[in-house]
């Protein structure tokens, strides 16, 4: 017998167990006896770990005072961080000049906000400001000139130095990485060989040895008396190192695009650079956002390695502080603080990348 | 003679003389000779792997040929990048898999090349784009992204995108073979109306109904060679070569 449906089935709400907090908990945490026991045990362990940390970091911690003697030492002695805060933030940058760094932060924050947010419709001028004008301003602001007292880079330090290292390396690594990736896919054999050679050489060496080479060996090749700034050497080393990684990340994105995209661009009469800039790179970079940000985060944390060539970044400054005889025994506070600062920055980058991915998502993937 | 043939004139749009192409050792195209007049519509068919795509991709140099001559709009295709770009501006191409730019809206897909290649002002390019989107009957989708459209709609956008460059020649590489049956006719209708306006067209397709109504000449390729070339009535009613007969019997059985 033939079956014919004459009436439309009414629309029903989804079953309760699949919606809401209770539905979620029932499904994920208490779906069987074993899961229920696991949930209870994990909750117990998590409670103790979190409680112990809060106990140390907040409940029994000391915030007031000026010296080690003001701390009861039942919990964290944040007085240490408070007393050394200036140095942790700016290194040995002269106190009277520290406003310059703050001005730099504010100008940078404005630029980043304009470029990353949706406030301005056209991104052209914010981008010109952030990527061309701002670095020039920063150079004079931080180093000196135009009536500002010169502050040698050996006095730079703390979080300020970490941020300088990270932003300059990121700023150089991304465009250089893109060029290396395009070069590696070029049809010109010489260009391709140079790019492959560079990438493979740098990637096969640990960052520490790149930094050592930059600080110890580079001066040997330079003419007598010519002394390259230590910070510049570290910046060159880190930028080249991250550019090699970035190149491979971008190449992955380029390879993921169907060949038809380039063919369509060509068939419309777009030249190589137009096709790359308007069609291929926007898509390839979008695909690679997670890996690009991953590389940035790795780079940001790797800035701590400059410690070994005698630069005083955030970690080194705090480490030096913990060895101060007035503050002995407070290493935990120092390292927890450093970890927290790094976490804030890296977590911020990660959230931004997720936001950006969602924003750039256009319809179904094919 | 088809209705569209009245647009034809003696001016040669595409001239291919003794063209050969190899993929490495593999001799994929052998001694291709073809001349297409302005306003003429050519349908190319043949079994899979016979070199149809390769041949029409040589016309706008998505593929390079190694021997012989290809002259498009009076310009010979060589390694001269400027000339290649000049030809690509005048020759539109529609692909089997649409190849729309997924990160741009439909409207941006259509205005991109006019703005960057022809340096048309943005407002003018947008007006032209809307005109062509109306012609392919999807102006209301202008602000959507390609990923939000059906296959048939995407292919019509791809046609509009090519038309926005005001090409003098259009190449189609199996424009309907990635589409579901109910979407094929909407794309074919667009192509037929384009043909009626006198566009010079070279279409690789197995839509024999389309070939019968629109084509001035049908070209049959097999194993890298042009085997037979005839007006559609002759081609379908009285094919000369055995291979053509075999191909037609297969395609008419299945289609
Ligand atoms: N890039 C390439 N490298 C090597 N061989 C290729 C390449 N592209 C195509 N070929 C070969 O060239 C021949 C012709 O391919 P082509 O794509 O032109 O066939 P076609 O007639 O368009 O077939 P279809 O109807 O399946 O699209 C095939 O045998 C194919 O395997
Ligand atoms: Mg093909």
- A338-362 pLDDT, tens digit per residue, is 999 999 999 999 998 888 888 887 7
Q: Which of A171-175, A227-231, A306-310 has the lowest mean pLDDT?
A: A227-231
Q: Do B103 and A283 touch (CB under 8 A)?
A: yes
Burial class (CB in 10 A: 0-12, 13-18, 19+), A285: middle
Q: Which residues of B touch A274 (CB under 8 A)?
A: 116-117
What pLDDT is recorded for position A365?
A: 47
Can you tell me the mean pLDDT for A251-280? Answer: 94
d(CA A330, CA A80): 8
Alpha helices in chain A (DSSP H): 20-28, 33-54, 79-83, 85-90, 98-116, 124-128, 134-138, 158-184, 189-203, 207-212, 218-221, 230-256, 259-267, 272-274, 281-302, 314-322, 331-360
Can you tell me the mean pLDDT for B95-116? Answer: 95
Yes or no: say if B44 and B32 are a contact pair by the CB < 8 Å rule. no
Can you tell me the mean pLDDT for A27-47? Answer: 88
Largest CA distance in chain A: 100
CA distance B101 to chain A (A): 7
Q: Which residues of A touch B88 (CB under 8 A)?
A: 266-269
Shortest-distance ligand to the CA of residue B221: 1
The conformation of residue B230, written as its DSSP 8-state character, comes to E
A109: pLDDT strictly greater than 80: yes
A364: pLDDT strictly greater than 60: no
Most confident of A21-30, A78-87, B93-102: B93-102
Average pLDDT of chain B to the nearest whole number: 91
Question: What spacing in Å lies between the alpha carbon of B170 and ligand 1's midpoint?
Answer: 21
Q: What is the pLDDT of residues B55-104, one digit of tens each?
A: 999 999 999 999 999 999 999 999 888 999 999 999 999 999 999 999 99
- How far are the Cα atoms of A167, A214, A301, A305 from residue A207, in angstroms, in the given order? 17, 10, 12, 8
CA distance A231 to chain B (A): 40
d(CA A324, CA A81): 13
Closest CB to A269 among B101, B103, B117 = B117
pLDDT band at residue A366 using 50, 70 and 90 as cut-offs:
very low
Question: What spacing in Å lies between the alpha carbon of B204 and ligand 2's midpoint?
Answer: 8
Can you tell me the mean pLDDT for B142-150? Answer: 92
Which atom, in ligand 1's list, is nearest to the CA of B224?
14
Identify the H or E element spanning B19: strand B12-23
Can you tell me the mean pLDDT for A252-266? Answer: 94
Two tokens, residue A182: 């395009």
Domains in chain A: boundaries = 95-151, 157-360
Closest CB to B60 among A265, A267, A286 = A267
The residue length of chain B stands at 255
What pLDDT is recorded for position B102?
A: 94
What is the interface pTM, i.e. ipTM, of the complex?
0.91
Which atom, in ligand 1's list, is nearest to the CA of B54?
18
B217-222/B67-72 β-pairing: unpaired
What pLDDT is recorded for position B3?
A: 47
Cα angle A337, A342, A344; round to 5: 95
Residue nearest to atom 2 of ligand 1 (CA): B23
CA distance A181 to chain B (A): 21
- Give the residue with greater pLDDT, A139 vs A2: A139
Percent of chain A exceeding pLDDT 90 equals: 39
B41-45/B200-204 β-pairing: parallel
φ, ψ of residue B219 to 5 degrees: the values are -115, 130
Question: What spacing in Å lies between the alpha carbon of B176 and ligand 1's midpoint?
Answer: 18
Task: Tell which CATH architecture fits domain A157-360.
Answer: Orthogonal Bundle (1.10)
User: Residue B86's closest chain A neighbor by CA?
Assistant: A269
What pLDDT is recorded for position A119?
A: 80
Q: Do B103 and A264 touch (CB under 8 A)?
A: no
pLDDT band at residue B1 using 50, 70 and 90 as cut-offs:
very low
User: Residue B85's closest chain A neighbor by CA?
Assistant: A269
Two tokens, residue A201: 């050489």
Can you tell me the mean pLDDT for B156-166? Answer: 94
What pLDDT is recorded for position B254?
A: 62
Question: What spacing in Å lies between the alpha carbon of B179 and ligand 1's midpoint?
Answer: 20
SS3 content of chain B, % helix, strand, coil (to 5): 45, 25, 35
Predicted structure pTM score: 0.84
Residue with tokens 């384009």: B194
């Amino acid at each position: 017998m033939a079956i014919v449906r004459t009436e439309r089935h009414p629309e029903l709400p989804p079953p309760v167990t699949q919606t809401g907090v209770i539905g979620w908990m029932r499904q994920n945490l208490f779906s069987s006896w074993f899961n229920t026991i696991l949930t209870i045990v994990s909750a117990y362990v998590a409670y103790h770990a979190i409680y112990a940390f809060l106990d140390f970091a907040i409940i029994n911690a000391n915030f007031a005072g000026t010296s080690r003697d003001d701390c009861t030492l039942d919990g964290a002695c944040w007085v240490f961080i408070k007393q050394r805060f200036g140095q942790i933030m700016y290194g040995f940058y002269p106190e009277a000049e520290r406003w310059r760094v703050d001005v730099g932060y504010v100008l940078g924050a404005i630029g980043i906000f304009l470029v990353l947010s949706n406030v301005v419709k056209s991104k052209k001028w914010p981008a010109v400001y952030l990527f061309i004008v701002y670095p020039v301003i920063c150079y004079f602001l931080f180093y000196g000139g135009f009536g500002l007292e010169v502050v040698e880079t050996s006095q730079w330090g703390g979080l300020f130095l970490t941020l300088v290292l990270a932003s300059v390396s990121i700023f150089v690594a991304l465009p250089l990485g893109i060029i290396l990736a395009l070069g590696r896919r070029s049809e010109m054999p010489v260009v391709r060989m140079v790019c492959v050679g560079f990438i493979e050489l740098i990637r096969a060496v640990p960052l520490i040895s790149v930094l050592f080479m930059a600080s110890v060996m580079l001066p040997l090749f330079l003419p007598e008396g010519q002394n390259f700034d230590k910070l510049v050497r570290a910046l060159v080393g880190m930028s080249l190192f991250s550019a090699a990684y970035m190149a491979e990340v971008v190449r992955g994105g380029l390879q993921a695009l169907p060949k038809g995209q380039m063919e369509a661009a060509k068939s419309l009469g777009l030249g190589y650079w137009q096709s790359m800039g308007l069609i291929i790179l926007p898509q390839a970079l979008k695909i690679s956002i997670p890996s690009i940000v991953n590389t940035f985060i790795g780079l940001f944390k790797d800035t701590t390695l400059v410690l070994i060539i005698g630069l005083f970044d955030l970690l080194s400054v705090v480490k030096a502080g913990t060895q101060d005889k007035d503050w002995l025994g407070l290493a935990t506070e120092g390292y927890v603080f450093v970890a927290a600062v790094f976490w804030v920055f890296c977590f911020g980058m990660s959230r931004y990348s997720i936001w950006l991915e969602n924003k750039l998502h256009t319809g179904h993937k094919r | 003679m088809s209705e569209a043939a009245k647009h034809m004139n003696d001016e040669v749009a595409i001239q291919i003389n003794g063209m050969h192409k190899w993929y490495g050792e593999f001799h994929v195209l052998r001694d291709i000779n073809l001349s297409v007049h302005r306003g003429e519509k050519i349908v190319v068919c043949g079994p899979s792997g016979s070199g149809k795509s390769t041949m029409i991709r040589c016309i706008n140099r998505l593929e390079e040929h190694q021997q012989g001559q290809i002259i498009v709009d009076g310009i010979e295709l060589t390694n001269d990048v400027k000339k290649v770009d000049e030809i690509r501006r005048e020759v539109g191409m529609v692909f089997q898999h649409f190849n729309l730019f997924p990160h741009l809206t439909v409207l941006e897909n259509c205005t991109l090349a006019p703005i960057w290649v022809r340096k048309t002002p943005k407002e003018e390019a947008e007006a032209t784009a809307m005109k062509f989107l109306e012609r392919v009957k999807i102006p209301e989708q202008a602000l959507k992204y390609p990923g939000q459209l059906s296959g048939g709609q995407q292919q019509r956008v791809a046609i509009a995108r090519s038309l926005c460059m005001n090409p003098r020649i259009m190449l189609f590489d199996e424009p309907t073979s990635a589409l579901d049956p109910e979407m094929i006719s909407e794309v074919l209708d667009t192509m037929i109306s384009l043909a009626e306006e006198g566009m010079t067209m070279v279409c690789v397709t197995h839509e024999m109904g389309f070939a019968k109504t629109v084509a001035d000449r049908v070209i049959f390729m097999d194993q890298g060679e042009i085997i037979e070339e005839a007006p559609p009535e002759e081609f379908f009613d009285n094919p000369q070569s055995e291979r053509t007969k075999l191909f037609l019997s297969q395609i008419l059985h299945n289609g």
